[in-house]
Structure 1
Amino acid sequence: MISRYKIVLFDLDGTLCESGEGILNSAKHAIQAVGFPVPPPEIMRKFIGPPMGQSLQNFCGMDKELAEKAVAIYRERYNRIGWIENRLYPGIQELLKDLKASGAKLSTASSKPKPALERIVQHFGILEYFDALVAAGPDGFHSSKPEMIEQAIRDCGGAQKQEVVMIGDTHFDANGAVEAGVDFLAASYGYGTKEELAAAGAAHFADSVEALRPYLFIDEN
């Protein structure tokens, strides 16, 4: 197999890992701890992907000071137990292995704080496949997906924009790829909807990890 791309970038939550249970359990715990009602499931689903502080402000109506308190509570539970309420999507390890064997360089571009991301990829035994790990800052509020994509490209040694693809499951990933000028492949098996992904510019959708392969490899036969 030959990789279609020189550099392949992955979001973490909803793309590499089915991590919703731990994120949502920890977010609900934090929201209740500061005295706010837990939003309905269709709103809570939107907490998976963006920085937690941003989501607490946008979806719960918290001010920044209270959101900072809630982020600390969220992080305490997530770091203690939430990160283990998590699993790799079936086929991810094999996909990463095959991409590396095909000559691609791999990096994350995730809104999860880097210490948590590093612990998760180490726990699941996939750290060895990555040439770089790019993630959000520690404050739980700000992360620029286009900046992370640019950083990941640099950390992987550089490439032309047409030689890079971003794989993610939310409109944040799609918008970031469009702004950064790289291809985007929607992991529609994740937590974003096809409607939001299409509205953000996604043209190619994979409903399973296996369905990513035709977009990532050139068949030599």
Structure 2
Amino acid sequence: MKERDSIIFDLDGTLWNASETVSKAFNESIKDIGFDIEITSQTVRDFSGMKMDDIFAQYFSFIPKEKLQEFEKIYAKKESDYLKEFGGELFPKVKETLEQLNKNYRLFIVSNCMKGYIENFIEFFSFKDLFEDFECYGNAGLPKDKNIRLIVERNNLQNPVYVGDTIWDKESSEKAGVDFIFANYGFGTVENPKIEIQNFEELLSIKF
């Protein structure tokens, strides 16, 4: 078996929790198009990992189709502005662990987020030197498994592993032909994962 050379990370529920900031952006955007409906940070955590189109369809069905494009445009701007200002909360020991992992592995991010979301995360914490590349749903509308494959192919990764916190992460990893590690401290649940971590720092001690 080839030696493990790289780690690809999910973002929300794996590296950080930005649900408070994201819910604020959603709620302000909802008000801007004339609705008095609020979503909670828990709701944001519940749909974390889903594609944005599916989130809008399932959780924002109260918005008329003719206003959806306007809502998406307003939200994209507010999300970016709020993330730049407020960011999110890293899970314990993420920064220190990433710095240690980066000595032995190439690091990447693949998320189902909007365009610019990963960039805001990296900029907020000055992580530019830690991650070689990243990909997201918002760039080309591709599902997570295809974006994982894009990262693998364009960076010539030989034996990567994907770390995520939802069943969608597990399924996407399997479709992409990449091993999966379940971050069980995150937002989702996965039944009987082959490998799981109780906290982020555990990545330093587990056998890949």
1:4-153 correspondence to structure 2 within 5 Å: 5-34=4-33, 35=35, 37-38=37-38, 43-61=43-61, 62=63, 65-83=66-84, 84-102=86-104, 104-138=105-139, 142-153=141-152
Match of 1:191 in 2: 187
1:167 to 150, 163, 166: 163
Aligned-partner Cα distance in 1 for 2:47–2:12: 11
CA distance in structure 2 between the partners assigned to 1:68 and 1:143 by the alignment: 19
Cα-to-partner distance string for 1:93-148 (whole Å, 9 max, x where unaligned): 2222222212x111111122342312320220211011212222348xx3411111
Q: Which amino acid aligns with 1:93?
A: K
Contact 2:101–2:204 (CA under 8 A) maintained in structure 1: no
RMSD: 2.5
Alpha carbons 1:53, 1:71 under 8 Å: kept: no
Cα distance change of structure 1 residues 37 and 145 upon mapping to structure 2, 3 Å threshold: same
1:49-97 Cα distance to aligned partner (Å, 9 max, x none): 3233420211232465433322222222212224524122221122222
Tell me how far apart the structure 1 counterparts of residues 145 and 195 of structure 2 sit (CA, whole Å). Answer: 19
SS of structure 2 residue aligned to 1:101: coil
Cα gap change, 1:125 to 1:146, in 2 (>3 Å): same
Distance 2:64 2:173 in 1: 30
State the alpha-carbon separation in 1 of the partners of residues 8 and 67 from structure 2.
33
Give the share of equivalent positions with the same residue, in percent. 24
Question: AA paired with 2:183?
Answer: A
Label 1:108 to 1:41 Cα distance change in 2 as closer, same or farther (>3 A). closer
Counterpart code for 1:73: I
Q: For structure 1, which runs of at least 5 residues remain unmatched after alignment?
A: none
1:210 is aligned to: 201
Q: Structure 1 residues 127 and 28 mapped into 2: Cα distance closer, same or farther (>3 Å)?
A: same
CA distance in 1, matches of 2:168, 2:66: 24
Amino acid at match of 1:127: K
Aligned length: 203
Structure 2 unaligned segments of length 5 or more: list them.
none
Q: Provide the TM-score with structure 2 as the length reference.
A: 0.83
Read off the aligned partner of 2:52 and give its amino acid letter.
M
Distance 2:24 2:110 in 1: 23
TM-score, with length taken from structure 1? 0.79
Rounded to whole Å, the distance in 1 between the matches of 2:182 and 2:71 is 31
Q: 2:202 corresponds to which letter in structure 1?
A: A
User: How far apart are residue 182 of structure 1 and its match?
Assistant: 1.2
